[in-house]
Amino acid sequence: MIIQDVPFQVMDWSKQPTTRHEGETGFALWRTLEVGNIRVRMVEYSPGYSADHWCTRGHVLLVMQGELETELADGRRFTMTPGCSYQVAEGAEPHRSRTAGGATLFIVD
């Protein structure tokens, strides 16, 4: 990843406004910073959240709280707990996520 046109800055995520994104079930609350060529997000999935689409965007994702299940289009599934991350390139492997009890994620893409 080449990060371009991003000056040094400190982010207090608790002060960043949220946007609500509905899932197939449940919802996600995003706190987003878009700067230069990157998007950085703190995402909270509600209990029972299930994504409504297959994502092909590249990400670096870190689970901060809760438990997240990520499914790849080829059928593989990964259960991730706090401190676990995944990395995937743009267009590499379609993926979608769900959580039974809710989760908080830190995502860079």
Residue 61 in domain: yes
Quote the CA–CA distance of 18 and 28 in Å, as a whole number.
Answer: 9
Residue 6 in domain: no
Residue-wise pLDDT for 53-107, tens only, equals 999 999 999 999 999 999 999 999 999 999 999 999 999 999 999 999 999 999 9
Instruction: Classify residue 97 by burial, with Cβ atoms within 10 Å: 0-12, 13-18, 19+.
Output: buried
CB 108 within 8 A of CB 40: yes
Residue 80 in domain: yes
CATH number at residue 101: 2.60.120.10
CB 36 within 8 A of CB 43: no
Quote the CA–CA distance of 37 and 88 in Å, as a whole number.
Answer: 17
pTM: 0.92
CB 99 within 8 A of CB 84: no
